[in-house]
Amino acid sequence: MPEPSIDVQRLWDSLMELARIGATDKGGVCRLALTEEDRRGRDLFVRWCEEAGCSVRVDAMGNIFARRPGRDDSLAPVLSGSHLDSQPTGGKFDGAYGVMAALEVVRTLNDHGIETERPVEIVSWTNEEGSRFAPAMVGSGVWAGAFDLDYGHSRQDADGVTLGEALQAIGYAGGSEAGRPRPSAYLEAHIEQGPILEAEDKTVGIVLGVQGIRWYEATVTGQDAHAGPTPMTGRRDALLASSKMIVAANQAGLGQAPDGRATVGVIRNKPNSTNVIPGEVFFTVDLRHPQVQGLDAMETALREHCDAIATESGTRLELKRIWDSPPVAFAERCIDAVRAGTQDFGYAHRDIYSGAGHDAVYVSRVAPTGMIFVPCEGGLSHNEEESATPDDLAAGCNVLLGALRRLAGA
Amino acid sequence: MPEPSIDVQRLWDSLMELARIGATDKGGVCRLALTEEDRRGRDLFVRWCEEAGCSVRVDAMGNIFARRPGRDDSLAPVLSGSHLDSQPTGGKFDGAYGVMAALEVVRTLNDHGIETERPVEIVSWTNEEGSRFAPAMVGSGVWAGAFDLDYGHSRQDADGVTLGEALQAIGYAGGSEAGRPRPSAYLEAHIEQGPILEAEDKTVGIVLGVQGIRWYEATVTGQDAHAGPTPMTGRRDALLASSKMIVAANQAGLGQAPDGRATVGVIRNKPNSTNVIPGEVFFTVDLRHPQVQGLDAMETALREHCDAIATESGTRLELKRIWDSPPVAFAERCIDAVRAGTQDFGYAHRDIYSGAGHDAVYVSRVAPTGMIFVPCEGGLSHNEEESATPDDLAAGCNVLLGALRRLAGA
């Protein structure tokens, strides 16, 4: 297969122009889903797609599809994209890269007059981040049938505005049926959002699947008491017990090295007063592993150690699993296409699992799916300092071009 | 000395009537300093003092003094009282007991027609708890010269209202000079706020002094990162490091058993999101010990262990001592009077140190001071379930009567 390659500068310039919409003082982006900033980002994307000769349609969840016809336009399309919304203090590349990379592939196909057997569609999914409307990935979730449309429309932001109202307000409540047509394959390019590729000096991550995720809520109940007159022995200190449990959660993750992850991200302490022994602590646990067995082993270790800590500290522990997203294995056909695209260009690469959720997780329920990762500086994401190099971004985009040409029949 | 004794039921009824002001659903009291509830509590107290024949004056910090004349009214008075403000979810007895006990002593002196050589004054100090305006004990602090009046008036609550404005708003910005006249002695009756008397079946605690208190603020800075893609090794998890430091603080306290106390009461975590490794944690440490050497030993252990944890976890620790209240030894003359009062009635008793700060700490800077403790159920205080028995409360009040008669010359 000959190797036309994408335009490094054009991809970078498109990302930088898009990043001006919602730009923050610290070099990041605040483009929350379905805000005025998101509308401006969508408008720019739609204009670029139309300039690239695509026909644009918007579905009832506001997901945007831009179609480049195939030689046989009755075939199911190959779909590629990501999302344009950001975290409140997000970066320039999370999501935006996957959309701009798919656009750059279409532009490159145009430049070289390459026809594909199947249509190629670029997608921008609505509200991937979940920062304005919970849950995350609700646009691709409704599209894939994980949620129904009424559920999607009824999601509310902190001010009580529904997602359906916000779609109307920015003019992106589309008419096309969510979920149709089904694509023949889906590819999503994304920054890694972790440090592994950078640390190992790899340019491309061939994503085999997505780690399973389990979320837990823990409430530890002790007895609040005055810090001065209460002797050390006999205290039932909910924060001390929780601190030991946080260390135990970390050990549960370390016990499943190198793939396991265990994180306590949230803690709330009552009454949270300097001179009062805490009586009640709430914390969350986030466990991730690419295999169910790994998740099970971490959960067992977590429960056993935390129960023992509760018993010896005279506290009561309630530990509930509130979310269970099973591991996802991507389609062999898509992984093979990504691997072949990587080999076309000879990039240093490694197989990798995604530790984060992506629209690709829901899409994989209804279509063969694959992902391409590129390094980001220090693994930082969901952060205004998120950074990636033009060359790495171009490399991932070239891999997408090669994989997509195979899947679409160029 | 003959032993008239106080009226058990009258003391109890006064406490219960006062507790209706700001009563909470769970049986506690919310009577934050200088709120409308505090005003109602003050008004009731002032009315009762006037009904008991006292003349009432209010100083510039809103401290209330109710005076029963002495045979020689030019002598410095013997002062007794405590505070009427409460924690947000406080109990019926913390502070209120000391004020009502002093009032009951005056009522009892009246009942028996007992004159004292010196005047007797009942005091209610402003903002002892520090829940609305920081710092705690600011009313007695200004009175004793630990703070100046401008500092006291400029304290702000969470809404930006100053203490001076709040005094005006409830009509308790008095004209009398703070700190005058100096009393010849000060006695404060209080619930123990700890479990020791109850555990040892003692009715009265003869308070020898107050533990020294040191407060610290710790900020642990790591690196926030996505919980999924970031491997366990190489994380700089500020909450995990802080959890280990909280365990280390506890061990520093245990190392100075039985008198040492070490408590982490406040923790704040950033960004406090389930799927983000925490990048910054703030927590407080409260160390207490009756001897400076004990405080020093705990501080050294705390710093050494926390520094080591910061180093090994790749985090940065800033640990600042923000408050240092040295141990207080009460006046022999006052301790002797309390001991004699206890012996008058034959109550089971023990010598004890106060683990909590009290107005008596500031007062002891300018006048001979003593305290009387009575048991409270389970040692609970700063809690709506705070509880004490009518008989124990009456016992402490009888001791106060006996001690005060000695100090005032009855």
Evaluate whether B167 touches B39 at the Cβ level (below 8 Å).
no
- A231 and B258 within 8 Å at the Cβ level: the answer is yes
Distance from the Cα of B231 to chain A's closest Cα (Å) equals: 7
Predicted local distance difference test score (pLDDT) of residue B130: 92
pLDDT at position B181 is 79
Best to test chain A binding among B207, B275, B280 (most A CBs inside 10 Å): B275
Kindly tell me if the per-residue pLDDT of B271 is higher than 70.
yes
Would the CB atoms of B250 and A237 count as touching at under 8 Å? yes
Q: Which of A211, A226, A237 sits opposite B194 (nearest CB)?
A: A226
Q: B212-325: which CATH number, 3.40.50.10470, 3.40.50.200, 3.30.70.360, 3.40.50.2300? A: 3.30.70.360
Is there a contact between B239 and A246 if contact means CB atoms under 8 Å apart? yes
- Rounded CA-CA distance B89/B384 in Å is 6
pLDDT tens per residue, range B130-152: 989 989 999 999 999 999 999 99
Interval B39-48 mean pLDDT: 98
Rounded to 10 degrees, the C-alpha dihedral B36/B37/B39/B43 comes to 140
**Mean pLDDT, to the nearest integer, of B285-291?**
96
Mutate to test the interface with A, among B207, B232, B277, B321 (most CBs of A within 10 A): B232
Q: Inter-chain contact A263–B277, Cβ cutoff 8 Å?
A: yes
What local confidence, expressed as pLDDT, does residue B275 receive? 87
Which helix H or strand E contains A142, and what residues bound it?
A: helix A138-143
- Summarize the confidence of residues B239-249 as an average pLDDT: 98
Residues of B in contact with A268 (CB under 8 A): 272
Q: Are A393 and A374 in contact (CB under 8 A)?
A: yes
Judge whether residue B1 has pLDDT over 70.
no
- pTM summary value: 0.81
Q: What is the DSSP letter of B35?
A: S
- Comparing CA positions, the residue from B83, B85, B80, B86 lying closest to residue B66 is B80
Selected residue of B132, B137, B214, B239 to mutate for chain A interface (largest A Cβ count, 10 A) = B239
Instruction: Inspect the interface and report whether the beta carbons of A356 and B233 lie closer than 8 Å.
Output: no
- DSSP bridge partners of B78: B120, B185
Geometric angle at alpha carbon A9, from A38 and A205, rounded to 5°: 75
Where residue A395 falls (left for φ over 0; alpha for ψ -120 to 50; beta otherwise) is alpha
Task: Show the tokens assigned to B379.
Answer: 């040692």
**Cα–Cα distance measured from residue A71 to residue B241, given in angstroms and rounded to the nearest whole number:** 59
Is A382 in Cβ contact with B226 (below 8 Å)?
yes
Q: What contacts A29, CB < 8 A, 6 or more positions away?
A: A19, A21, A22, A23, A86, A90, A91, A92, A96, A384
Phi, psi of B238 (to 5 degrees): -70, -30
Name the residue among A229, A237, A257 with its Cβ closest to that of B379.
A229
Mean pLDDT score of chain B: 95
**Per-residue three-class SS string for B291-310:** CHHHHHHHHHHHHHHHHHHH
Rounded average pLDDT over B229-258: 96
Contact check, Cβ <8 Å, A278/B265: yes
Residue B141 near residue B85 (C-beta atoms within 8 A): no
- Select the residue from A207, A261, A275 to test the B interface by mutation, using most B Cβ atoms within 10 A: A275
- Nearest-Cα distance to chain A for B215, in Å, is 8
DSSP letter string, A70-100: -SSTTSPPEEEEEE----TTB-SSTTHHHHH
Give per-residue pLDDT as tens, B12-34: 999 999 999 999 999 999 999 99
- Do A276 and B265 make contact, defined as CB atoms within 8 angstroms? yes
Average pLDDT rounded to a whole number, residues B300-305? 98
Q: Which residue is closest to B280 within chain A, CA to CA? A: A265
Contact A226 B193 (CB under 8 A): yes
How far apart are the C-alpha atoms of B236 and B224, rounded to whole Å? 8
Place of tokens 């007159």: A229
Cα A178 to Cα A157: distance, rounded to the nearest angstrom: 22
Question: Using CB atoms, which residue from B226, B233, B379 is nearest to A355?
Answer: B226
Please indicate whether, in this complex, the C-beta atoms of A260 and B225 are within 8 angstroms of each other: no
Lowest mean pLDDT among A378-382, B60-64, B383-387: A378-382
B313, two tokens: 């976890």
Amino acid B330 reads F
**What is the SS3 assignment for B220?**
strand
CATH number of B8-210+327-408: 3.40.630.10
Segments of chain A with pLDDT less than 50:
1-2
A247: closest chain B residue by CA: B240
For A274, the closest of B89, B211, B284 (CB atoms) is B284
Nearest to B286 among A275, A286, A355 (CB): A275
Compute CA distances B215 → A10, A249, A365, B319, B329, whole Å. Answer: 57, 29, 55, 10, 20
Q: Give the closest-approach CA distance of A371 to chain B in angstroms.
A: 14
What six digits make up the tokens of B186?
Answer: 């000060």
Q: What is residue A1's predicted lDDT score, i.e. its pLDDT?
A: 47
3-state SS class at A329: strand
Domain assignments of chain A as residue spans, ordered by start:
8-210+327-408, 212-325
Both structure tokens of A313: 């500290």
Query: Which candidate from B257, B284, B379 shows the least CB-CB separation from A225?
Result: B379
User: Which residues partner with B312 through β-bridges?
Assistant: none
Output DSSP code: residue B177: P
pLDDT tens digit sequence for A169-205: 999 999 877 777 899 999 999 999 999 999 999 999 9
Closest residue, chain A, to B259 (C-alpha): A231
Residues of B in contact with A207 (CB under 8 A): none
Cβ distance of A226 and B355 shorter than 8 Å: yes
Tell me the per-residue pLDDT of B169-191, one tens digit each, with 9 for 90 and over. Answer: 999 999 877 777 799 999 999 99
Interface-testing mutation among A93, A196, A232, with chain B (most B C-beta atoms within 10 A) = A232
* Residue among B258, B276, B357 minimizing CB distance to A382: B276
Pairing of strands A204-210, A349-354: parallel
Contact call for A266 and B274, based on CB within 8 A: yes
Distance from CA of A106 to the nearest CA of B (A): 29
Across the interface, whether the CB atoms of B244 and A243 are under 8 A apart is answered yes
User: Would you tell me how many other CB atoms lie within 10 Å of the CB of residue A55?
Assistant: 13
From A243, A253, A265, residue closest to B246, measured CB to CB: A243
Q: Find, in chain A, the residue whose alpha carbon is nearest to that of B216.
A: A274
Q: Which of B89, B226, B267 sits opposite A269 (nearest CB)?
A: B267
Task: Please give the helix or strand (H or E) that residue A190 lies within, else none.
Answer: strand A185-191
Token pair, residue B252, equals 């520093």
- Whether the pLDDT of residue B388 is over 70: the answer is yes
Note whether B211 contacts A226, CB cutoff 8 Å: no
Contacts of A228 in chain B (CB under 8 A): 193-194, 211, 213, 261, 286, 288, 354-357
Where are the alpha helices (H) located in B171-260, listed in sequence order?
196-199, 238-254
> What percent of chain B clears pLDDT 90, i.e. is strictly above it?
90
Helix (H, G, I), strand (E, B) or coil at A116: coil
